[in-house]
């Protein structure tokens, strides 16, 4: 099959990813499970090289030959956009395509927490969307930008690697910058974004000291900054930001972070009992108690504050998982695998089950 036919097969079967790697047949990821397409022939090095040549520009090809890895976007008109990861393994090329729908879905379409609508309308501060790779962070950020674009007049600058969802100007004006083609680094792009009269800056990934430092400075100077981190809960997210700085700067960073942080949304995807997947969120909102704990370096106490602040819209991951199990949306086994504290989650579910029998 030609590459575009394979990508259509991927879309038709509802897959999130397709892997092209020698010497196996194409492999689809459907609802989180890898499914080899056994009715298709095993791929040769020549097959994968042809697919690679089909999606890259001469400049991108040169970058891959030099770096041995590449992240780009590829579009099939009328079908979808794809995020493409290219790497070399055992002397051959390996390709992974991730589906990025052409249409940006809304917060309601994706069944995201309603607090997302409030957070993206904040005039300033730092909002972080975190989670493991493939958990939907980019999709959540795109839905939030989409809501802002339909609601308020702002100048939005995004820095992405690569650009996934394409936004058109509605009430907002939006500039989307691609790492590699439009800018050399997240840090450099952030510095120049601050000179471009922005209201909102979206950072595709806050991956290093320079980027995080500049993002904090941008939030301090009156901008709304939204970004992602590969962390699994709110306490770990705060700790990761602080720990990336030298030890003699960490107390100052705690103070700065406590003043600018607005929210941390930690998301993960779970398989539904009846098929498909569902996103669940740990939500930390920056009330006075949260800010005090960050400032005092007591991030280990954040989960307790979140558990006691449900009336403010906060929820821990275990509370969110328990709700999904109680609703029959996900199995207890799947929830336990995603829990940061499986023992506590199990006790909570057993306690509630015991009460329901009384």
3-class SS of residue 114: coil
Domain ends where: 100, 123, 150? 100
Same domain, yes or no: 83 and 131:
no
Domain ends where: 100, 135, 166? 100
Same domain, yes or no: 260 and 137:
yes
Domain assignment of residue 323, yes or no: no
Same domain, yes or no: 30 and 145:
no
Residue 168: pLDDT over 70: yes
Residue 328: pLDDT over 90: yes
Domain ends where: 45, 68, 100? 100
- Alpha-carbon distance of 269 to 211, in angstroms, equals 27
How many structural domains are present in the chain?
A: 2
Q: At 353, is the pLDDT very low, low, confident or very high (cuts 50, 70, 90)? A: low
Same domain, yes or no: 156 and 224:
yes
Q: What is the CATH number of the domain that holds 27?
A: 3.30.450.90
Same domain, yes or no: 127 and 251:
yes
Same domain, yes or no: 263 and 195:
yes
Same domain, yes or no: 182 and 229:
yes
- Alpha-carbon distance of 90 to 326, in angstroms, equals 47
Q: Which runs of consecutive H residues, i.e. helices, occur in 182-341?
A: 186-193, 209-220, 234-243, 250-260, 288-296, 302-307, 317-326, 332-338
Same domain, yes or no: 15 and 130:
no
- When pLDDT is averaged across residues 283-309 and rounded to a whole number, the result is 97
Domain assignment of residue 95, yes or no: yes
pTM recorded for the entire structure: 0.89
178: β partners = 160
Percentage above 90 pLDDT, the chain: 89
Domain assignment of residue 358, yes or no: no
Q: At 352, is the pLDDT very low, low, confident or very high (cuts 50, 70, 90)? A: low
Domain assignment of residue 193, yes or no: yes
Q: At 357, is the pLDDT very low, low, confident or very high (cuts 50, 70, 90)? A: very low
Domain assignment of residue 21, yes or no: yes
- Alpha-carbon distance of 158 to 198, in angstroms, equals 10
Q: Which domain holds residue 47?
A: 3-100
Q: What's the token pair of residue 235?
A: 């306490």
Q: What is the pLDDT of residues 274-293, one digit of tens each?
A: 988 999 999 999 999 999 99
Q: Which runs of consecutive H residues, i.e. helices, occur in 225-296?
A: 234-243, 250-260, 288-296
3-class SS of residue 116: helix
> Position of tokens 């954040």?
302
Residue 224: pLDDT over 80: yes
Same domain, yes or no: 224 and 192:
yes
Instruction: Give the rounded distance of the alpha carbon of 306 from its chain centre.
Output: 22
- When pLDDT is averaged across residues 287-316 and rounded to a whole number, the result is 96
More confidently predicted of 164 and 52 = 52
- Alpha-carbon distance of 227 to 12, in angstroms, equals 31
Same domain, yes or no: 207 and 303:
yes
Same domain, yes or no: 229 and 253:
yes
3-class SS of residue 117: helix
Q: What is the pLDDT of residues 131-153, one digit of tens each?
A: 998 899 999 999 999 999 999 99
Same domain, yes or no: 278 and 149:
yes
């Amino acid at each position: 099959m030609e590459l575009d036919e394979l990508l259509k097969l991927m879309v038709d079967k509802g897959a999130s990813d397709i892997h092209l790697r020698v010497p196996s047949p194409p492999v689809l990821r459907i609802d989180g499970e890898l499914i080899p397409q056994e009715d298709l022939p095993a791929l040769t090095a020549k097959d994968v090289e042809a697919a690679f040549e089909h999606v890259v520009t001469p400049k991108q090809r040169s970058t891959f030959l030099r770096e041995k890895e590449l992240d780009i976007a590829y579009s099939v008109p009328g079908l979808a956009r794809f995020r493409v990861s290219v790497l070399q393994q055992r002397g051959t090329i390996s390709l992974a395509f991730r589906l990025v729908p052409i249409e940006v879905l809304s917060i309601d379409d994706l069944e995201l927490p309603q607090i997302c609508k409030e957070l993206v309308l904040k005039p300033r501060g730092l909002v972080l969307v975190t989670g493991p790779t493939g958990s939907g962070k980019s999709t959540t950020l795109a839905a939030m930008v989409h809501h802002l674009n339909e609601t308020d007049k702002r100048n939005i600058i995004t820095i992405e690697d690569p650009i996934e969802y394409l936004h058109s100007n509605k009430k907002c004006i939006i500039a989307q910058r691609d790492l590699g083609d439009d800018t050399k680094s997240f840090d450099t792009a952030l510095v120049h974004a601050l000179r471009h009269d922005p209201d909102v800056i979206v950072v595709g990934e806050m991956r290093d000291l320079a980027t995080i430092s500049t993002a904090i400075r941008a939030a301090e100077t009156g901008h709304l900054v939204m970004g992602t981190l590969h962390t699994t809960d709110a306490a770990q997210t705060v700790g990761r930001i602080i720990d990336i700085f030298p030890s003699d700067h960490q107390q100052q960073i705690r103070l700065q972070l406590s003043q600018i942080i607005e929210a941390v949304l930690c998301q993960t995807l779970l398989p539904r009992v009846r098929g498909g997947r569902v996103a669940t969120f740990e939500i930390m909102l920056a009330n006075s108690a949260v800010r005090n704990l960050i400032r005092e370096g007591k991030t280990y106490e954040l989960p307790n504050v979140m558990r006691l602040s449900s009336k403010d819209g906060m929820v821990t991951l275990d509370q969110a998982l328990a709700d999904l199990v109680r609703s029959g949306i996900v199995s207890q086994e799947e929830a336990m695998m995603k829990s940061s504290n499986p023992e506590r989650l199990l006790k909570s579910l057993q306690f509630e089950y015991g009460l329901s029998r009384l």
